Chain A
Amino acid sequence: MAKETGIQRWKELNPGMAVTCPGNAAELKTGDWRSMRPETDCEKCIKCGQCYILCPDMVYSKNEDGYYVQNYYWCKGCGICARECPVDAIRMVQEVD
């Protein structure tokens, strides 16, 4: 398990400082960056997939009912999804805590 601060002993390094854990950046909770969070009103959602394909942080995934749901671990709260939703089903609300 790689430490986010990168403190390792020189003997523990791979040659050339290569990283052999693909995609381990996902360990970082970029969700801590946000001050607003997107919330989807499923009544309005038409499952078009725009929020999914326009998110720079791969926050959305489809649930069993076909709605796109957020993974708040990574959501940076940029608001692109809320701005682009064609039926205004997503709104940005103040993040609590």
Chain B
Amino acid sequence: MGLASEALKNFKGFNLRNLPEVEPLSPGHRACQGCGEVLALRQALKAIGNNVIVVSATGCMEIVTSPYPQTAWRVPWLHVAFENAASVVSGVEAAYKSMNRKKIIDRPDVTFLAYGGDGATADIGLQALSGALERGHNFVYLCLDNEAYMNTGIQRSSSTPFGASTTTSPPGRKSSGQATWKKNVVEIAAAHGAPYVATASPAYPIDLMNKVKKASLVPGPTYIHIYSPCPTGWRCGIEESVEIARLAVLSKVFPLYEVIDGEYYLSRNVAKPKPVSEYFKPQRRFRHLTEAEVRFIQQRIDEEYEKLLQKCRVQDGK
């Protein structure tokens, strides 16, 4: 049996009747109204609980949760730089492993959590993530993907979807917004052989919390890519964050799946998918796209989803 399967064989998930009550993140943080990223982070932390050490990359979450002299963190938290959350957490994990073994401390069950945005994960932090995955440290990595460098003013990242308008991929006479397809970091993590890799969306909180909990139970490096709507950067209504996080899944733009010991499992089969144009409608970052461009995107979305289905076995309720 694989490493992850073994660790998860008796896994019991959350449901709306037994939601965790713990809140490792306090209110009073300075996130924008309707921020989908802090919502996702909140849900993930609830799933893990208080026995955690959190390492943060530079980004929206770091800024809004740590304005001196205040902190929204009720658990230990360390922020160092933009591109190294994965290597910092490697050091935390190594120190705990060493000190536990040498009986300097007695804390064998701490979860080591690192998170970063799409910039910190897919671009400037990709090397650190790759190194930490390859070395096999025992940690959970969350990529909170709001599809651009939001904290510095909505500049493009390699995770910005094709055609999206950002301040460094603006549409104009010679440009249609982002010119490249979204980098698939989930596949990169899976290719490193990480025993548990998954995608999640805060519109499906039980699914998200279960996946984060699973990741914390699986020994070794685990990676979860979390879709994080940003009303400020995507230019949608502040009350629409969860709805867009749902539309992303229902239009197959952001499929929910797990890769457990290298085997693909679809979390939610989208039987009657919505057209991608419906997903684009509430977001002004896609307003400039022509019909031909939308058709191109729809086609590519369909192809990618087919490829994913072929890799998956459909699992109900897991």
Q: A6-B67, A78-B239, A83-B243 are in contact. Are A54 and B72 (CB under 8 A)?
A: no
Residues of A within 8 A of B71 (CB): 19, 21-25
**Most chain A beta-carbon contacts within 10 A, residue among B19, B25, B39, B237:** B39
CB distance from B58 to the nearest CB of A (A): 16
B interface residues (Cβ-Cβ under 8 A, vs A): 16, 19, 23, 25-31, 33-36, 38-39, 42-43, 65-75, 202, 205, 237-243
Residues of A within 8 A of B238 (CB): 78-80
Q: A33-B33, A54-B39, A76-B33 are in contact. Are A4 and B27 (CB under 8 A)?
A: no
Residues of B within 8 A of A28 (CB): 28, 30, 70
Residues of A within 8 A of B67 (CB): 6, 25
Residues of B within 8 A of A49 (CB): 16, 19
Q: A48 an interface residue at 8 Å Cβ cutoff?
A: yes
List A residues 40-58 near B (Cβ within 8 Å): 48-50, 52-58
Tell me the complex Cα distance, A52–B20, Å.
11
Kindly report which residue of chain B lies nearest to residue A50, judged by CB atoms: B16
Q: A34-B33, A77-B33, A78-B33 are in contact. Are A6 and B242 (CB under 8 A)?
A: no
B26 near A26 (CB under 8 angstroms)?
yes
Picked from B34, B38, B72, B205, the residue with its CB within 8 Å of the CB of A53 is B205
Interface 1/0s, chain A 72-97, versus B by CB < 8 A?
01101111101110000000100000
A53 near B25 (CB under 8 angstroms)?
no
A interface residues (Cβ-Cβ under 8 A, vs B): 2-4, 6, 8, 17, 19, 21-30, 33-34, 48-50, 52-59, 71, 73-74, 76-80, 82-84, 92
CB distance from B149 to the nearest CB of A (A): 20
Residues of B within 8 A of A27 (CB): 28, 70
Tell me the complex Cα distance, A92–B74, Å.
30
Q: A54-B39, A58-B26, A78-B34 are in contact. Are A25 and B242 (CB under 8 A)?
A: no
Picked from B26, B202, B205, the residue with its CB within 8 Å of the CB of A25 is B26
Q: A30-B27, A55-B39 are in contact. Are A19 and B66 (CB under 8 A)?
A: yes
Residues of A within 8 A of B19 (CB): 49, 52-53
Residues of B within 8 A of A6 (CB): 67-69
Looking at chain A's contact residues, the main secondary structure is loop
Residues of A within 8 A of B242 (CB): 54, 80, 83-84
Residues of B within 8 A of A84 (CB): 242-243
CB distance from B31 to the nearest CB of A (A): 6
Tell me the complex Cα distance, A80–B244, Å.
11
Kindly report which residue of chain B lies nearest to residue A59, judged by CB atoms: B27
Tell me the complex Cα distance, A17–B243, Å.
39
Tell me the complex Cα distance, A37–B137, Å.
45
CB distance from A49 to the nearest CB of B (A): 5
CB distance from A33 to the nearest CB of B (A): 7
**Most chain B beta-carbon contacts within 10 A, residue among A29, A78, A83:** A78
A82 near B70 (CB under 8 angstroms)?
no
Residues of A within 8 A of B75 (CB): 22
Q: Which 6 A-B pairs have the closest CB atoms?
A: A79-B239, A23-B26, A78-B34, A25-B28, A2-B69, A25-B72
CB distance from B53 to the nearest CB of A (A): 13
B27 near A26 (CB under 8 angstroms)?
yes
Tell me the complex Cα distance, A64–B28, Å.
24
Q: A23-B74, A26-B28 are in contact. Are A56 and B34 (CB under 8 A)?
A: yes
Picked from A52, A58, A92, the residue with its CB within 8 Å of the CB of B25 is A58
Residues of B within 8 A of A21 (CB): 69-71
A23 near B68 (CB under 8 angstroms)?
no
Residues of A within 8 A of B239 (CB): 78-80, 82-83, 92
CB distance from B142 to the nearest CB of A (A): 16
Could you pull out 11 A-B pairs where Cβ atoms are within 8 angstroms? A2-B70, A24-B26, A25-B70, A25-B72, A29-B28, A30-B27, A56-B35, A56-B36, A78-B34, A79-B34, A83-B242
